[in-house]
A and B are shown apart, each in its own frame.
Chain A
Amino acid sequence: EAAVTQSPRNKVAVTGGKVTLSCNQTNNHNNMYWYRQDTGHGLRLIHYSYGAGSTEKGDIPDGYKASRPSQENFSLILELATPSQTSVYFCASGAREGTEVFFGKGTRLTVV
């Protein structure tokens, strides 16, 4: 079973502050992804990566940065958090030629 671990699981941040969400996978997958989940929008892709040192913009990248320092780790960074970024964030990983991705349990972020 693929393992994707997100930390923290819950986070309260202040408007204008910097937030870093972390994701670790132990499956040696090349590809990793960050999604956010909102009522009325489903899940939407923010950033993704094809391997260490690589980051690509997804469908809604504005206000977010990503970092992939190693095969195992992929971070999502909110330099200046806003209340509109209150959401549940999911990290996922998948093999380069894989047929599915594996999601973590999510991070609930509240920006006040």
Chain B
Amino acid sequence: GDSVTQTEGQVALSEEDFLTIHCNYSASGYPTLFWYVQYPGEGPQLLFRASRDKEKGSSRGFEATYDKGTTSFHLRKASVQESDSAVYYCALSDQETGNTGKLIFGLGTTLQVQP
């Protein structure tokens, strides 16, 4: 079945560092890909999504490009802030129904940014 792999379980950075969180997926066809962010005590919230090859999603300085060739959707940010500390989830949605709430999540990456 479909799956999502996030390489980094935890990432520790200092403010203004460059961030990369790797996400690779396994699925047939063209799944819609998502990045969700979860702050302490909250549910996940959508950061952005992308639906087709080479499409770039972006929000709040974060960005990722859908790459079907390498089956990747890596999250990047040029300069992180302490307020970016959170758990980040890569996910893909069910292709058969197009239901964007039927999601397969990666294990999540905890980002800790020190001032």
Chain A residues within 8 Å of B, Cβ to Cβ = 4, 31, 33, 40-45, 48, 58-59, 90, 92-94, 98-106
Contact = CB atoms under 8 A, between A and B. Distances in A.
B108 interface: yes
B105 A43 contact: yes
Nearest to A99: B100
B42 A105 contact: yes
A105 B101 contact: no
Contact of B101 (A44, A92, A104, A106): A92
Interface of B: 34, 41-46, 49, 89, 99-108
A100 B42 contact: no
Contacts of A59: 104
Given A43-B89, A43-B105, A92-B101, A105 B41 contact: yes
A100 B44 contact: no
Ranked 5 nearest A-B pairs via Cβ: A103-B43, A101-B101, A42-B105, A100-B46, A94-B101
B108 to A, nearest CB: 5
A contact face: mostly helix, strand, loop, or mixed: strand
A40 B34 CA distance: 19
A2 to B, nearest CB: 10
B109 to A, nearest CB: 10
Given A41-B107, A42-B108, A103 B99 contact: no
B26 to A, nearest CB: 15
13 contacts: A31-B99, A42-B105, A42-B108, A43-B103, A48-B102, A92-B43, A99-B49, A100-B34, A100-B100, A101-B100, A103-B45, A105-B41, A106-B42
Given A43-B105, A44-B105, A103 B44 contact: yes
Contacts of B42: 103, 105-106
B35 to A, nearest CB: 11
Contacts of A99: 49, 100
Given A42-B107, A99-B49, A90 B44 contact: yes
